[in-house]
Amino acid sequence: MARTLLDKVWEAHTVRTLPSGQTQLLIGLHLIHEVTTPQAFQMLKELKLKVRMPERTFGTLDHIIPTADQSRPYADPEAEEMAQHMYRNMKDFNLQLFDMSTGKQGIVHVIGPELGLTQPGMTIACGDSHTSTHGAVGAIAFGIGTTQVRDVLATQCLAMAKPKLRQVRVEGSLARGVYAKDVILWIINQLGVKGGVGYAYEYAGPVIERMTMEERLTVCNMSIEGGARCGYVNPDQTTIDYLRGKPYAPSGDAFERATRWWLGGVATEPGASFDDVKRIDGARIEPVVTWGINPEMSVGVSQSIPSPEAQPEAERPTFREALAHMGFQAGQPIKGAKIDVAFVGSCTNGRLSDLRIAAEIARKGKVAKHVRALIVPGSQQVAKAAETEGLHEIFQAAGFQWRKAGCSMCLGMNDDKLRGREMSASSSNRNFIGRQGSPTGRTLLMSPAMVAAAAIAGEVADVREILR
Amino acid sequence: MTTDFKRRQITGRGIPVTGNDIDTDRIIPARYLKAVVFEGLGEHAFEDARKQNPEHPFNSPAYRGASVLVVGQNFGCGSSREHAPQALMRWGIRAIVGGSFGEIFAGNCVMLGMPCLRASQQDIEWLQREIGRSPQASITVDVEKQEVRLGDRAIKASMPDGPRNQLVNGTWDSTSVLLEAGAAIEATAGRLPYVKGF
């Protein structure tokens, strides 16, 4: 019987079936950062345990670090304390840390793929829900909590149940001005934020197959927003071309042998069956903007905000809460909604291609006077590549702030926060209440192109009109 | 002294938090993740939601001391932060009954020995209503029998077999269980092409 990537990767990493019925699953790559690990290392020390396979864990600093002045000690004493713990733990347990001095630091989900640490056929875990990102290269990658981080450090394994598998096929082709971010926001709109609970998502179909690796990373990144703990794309020529020459990818003959395994031994076989298949028509997707307090609450930019009365009864209270929080009326067009802040960055959209698209729009105008606009590259390598192309100068000339790499305003754990009820046009992944650092702050999720367009217009704009 | 890890039944008073898709940012805002320990998180559970809504159940003296949290659909979606179940546990919650749960959240709860059981929308609404009517009433969450009892009524409440077995048998402290595999861990790794260097 034809097997899926999930079947094959799961089987290859199964150590044994646990008495509970779960699988003891070997984790091939463990990525860690400063925020969800100090307690795990503390537990390890209390249990007098070592890291089982220190060569399979890599760390970076991303969540709490400032993106303006990165000189040590950090101005925020709590951030400084977390950084110090990270340095100490990495040293005590003999683990490799990509800090600022390496030139390889960045958001954990940006650096894994760009260093070639993330490879097809791996199981990957990280104490961060957006670990689903790494599925873009054909890995099974999931976010875990801190006690599970302890498990991976101590045993290189997790106790997991194999999820069901849903293939999400994006058919047809995308219109100009519609990007990978719009595709995943639309998938979540159609399948819902709870739709993926219990499933892994295999993204497929012509639109996904034509996507670059960076676009696939954007799609897989937000699998978790659709309720799916992981999402992946089958490895293909795009994957191979992306990985060739990456520092931690195999090289020479080993790369050729790896290629044969990735295509022949990892990818889903033709005729494999799925627990469910959903089809999305790519041609019908327009630039998507969220209007509410979870990523499913979105509309095409030409559409109006839906009415709670049009929803199933159980969903109406959440809809009403969303309208009240956002200060929107049902029936109001999303286009023209005034913004105060524009943010391009995050593990969803902080890669070089995202910055290129945003710069293309930034070239066409100046940031509106009332808007604070930040460009935060996803990694030091992204920043360097962007600067080599002169993108930072385009942004600065247009009135955007050019920052250093980090998670920044996606979750507001550093100084990059919304203030009061500010409305943010954001290329990040979550519009939850309080997500961007102000308890009353408001977030509109959209593609980097749409964020740049909104920054210039001072309100939600249709990027297709600018590209015309 | 031995610690009993078995979580067959949890009995206590209830606290209802209504609404769907309550994310982990709402349960514990990110600013409280800037700490190297979990201690002290309990008092910050739902902090911003409580400030914005004086009627929030976590503000109500009637629910102080409650240990069974009853929630809607997709509770704990979003961020993987274990700080969310840690905050609830340190506030006093010992079991959660809901329509459905974010998967990482539910997994984190198991790691802390805190069961998350799923019940039908209708039963959840009944449970939340009854708790609102008599906050002092005792609720039993029976993990083994997969039911929740209040007064003379028992409702069906399920959880997946794997984590349920872990909780009932007291094997949810997974590090020791995983370590029992011994050399099989290295043997599995040794068969993987990317570990062998292709």
Q: How far is A273 from chain B (nearest CA, A)?
A: 24
- CB–CB of B181 and A20 under 8 A? no
Peptide bond into A73 cis (omega under 30): yes
State phi, psi for A342 to the nearest 5 degrees.
Answer: -125, 130
Tokens of B174: 């997974």
Q: Rounded to an integer, what distance in angstroms lies between the CA atom of residue B21 and that of residue B117?
A: 16
How do strand B147-150 and strand B153-156 relate by DSSP bridges?
antiparallel
Mean pLDDT of A55-64: 98
Q: Which of residues 136-175 of A touch B (CB under 8 A)?
A: 142-148, 150-151, 154-159, 161
Looking only at the bridges linking them, the beta strands covering A14-17 and A423-426 are unpaired
Q: Does the structure show a pLDDT above 90 at A468?
A: no
Q: Is B193 on the interface with A (CB under 8 A)?
A: yes
Give residue for tokens 């809901």: B98
Decide if A258 and B198 are in contact by the 8 Å CB cutoff.
yes
The per-residue DSSP string of A286-321 comes to --EEE-SSSTT-EEETTSBPPPGGGS-GGGHHHHHH
Q: Does position A248 have pLDDT exceeding 90, yes or no?
A: yes
Average pLDDT for A292-320: 96
Burial A177-209 (b: 16+ CB within 10 A, else e): bbbbbbbbbbbbbbbbbbbbbbbbbbbbbebbe
Please judge whether A157 and B177 are an interchain contact, meaning their C-beta atoms are less than 8 angstroms apart: no
How many angstroms away from the CA of A8 is the closest CA of chain B? 12
> Of B74, B80, B198, which is closest to A193 when you measure between CB atoms?
B74
Chain B hits for A147, CB-CB cut-off 8 Å, are 82, 108, 111-112, 174
pLDDT(A122) > 90: yes
* CA–CA separation, A345 and A383 (whole Å): 11
Continuous segment of H or E residues that includes residue B162? helix B161-169
Please tell me the distance from the alpha carbon of residue A291 to that of residue A54, in angstroms, as a whole number.
44
For CA atoms A221, A223, A229, A230, give the dihedral sign: negative
Instruction: Report the pLDDT value the prediction gives residue B3, as an integer from 0 to 100.
Output: 63
* Inter-residue contact A132 to A220 (CB < 8 Å): yes
Q: Span B102-106, mean pLDDT?
A: 98
Amino acid at A114: E
CB atoms within 10 A of CB A338: 13
Tell whether B78 is within 8 A of chain A (Cβ): yes
The answer to whether A123 and A13 have CB atoms below 8 angstroms apart is yes
Query: Chain B partners of A435 at a C-beta cutoff of 8 Å?
Result: 25, 30
CA distance A104 to A248: 12
What are the structure tokens assigned to A127, written together?
């104490």
What integer is the mean pLDDT of A65-75? 96
Quote the mean pLDDT of chain A.
97
Mean pLDDT, range A419-434, rounded to an integer: 98
- B77/B86 Cα distance (integer angstroms): 15
Q: Work out the average pLDDT over B121-127.
A: 97
Q: What are the chain A neighbours of B81 within 8 Å (beta carbons)?
A: 36, 145
Q: What is the mean pLDDT of residues A397-424?
A: 98
pTM of the model: 0.98
pLDDT digits (tens, 9 = 90+) for B33-65: 999 999 999 999 999 999 999 999 999 999 999
CA distance A264 to A242: 18
Q: How far apart are CA A183 and CA A348, in angstroms?
A: 13
Residue linked to tokens 């790691």: B111
B183 touches chain A (CB under 8 A): no
Q: What's the mean pLDDT in A55-81?
A: 97
Chain mean pLDDT for chain B: 96
pLDDT band at B4 (very low <50, low <70, confident <90, very high): confident
Token pair recorded at residue A17: 């079936």
Q: Which of residues 294 through 353 in chain A touch B, CB cutoff 8 A?
A: 294, 314-315, 317-318, 321
pLDDT digits (tens, 9 = 90+) for A144-203: 999 999 999 999 999 999 999 999 999 999 999 999 999 999 999 999 999 999 999 999
Per-residue pLDDT at A19 exceeds 80:
yes
pLDDT of residue A300: 98
In chain A, % of residues over pLDDT 70: 100
How many CA within 13 A on the CB side of residue A415? 12
Is residue A80 within 8 angstroms of chain B, CB to CB? no
pLDDT at position A149 is: 98
pLDDT at B1: 36
Give the pLDDT confidence score for residue A314 in this predicted structure: 87
- Give the pLDDT mean for A213-218: 98
Q: Are A152 and A158 in contact (CB under 8 A)?
A: yes
Q: Do B104 and A64 make contact, defined as CB atoms within 8 angstroms?
A: no
Residue A448 has pLDDT above 80, yes or no: yes
**ipTM of this complex prediction, to 2 decimal places:** 0.96
Name beta bridge partners: B15: B69
A250 and B21: CB-CB below 8 Å?
no
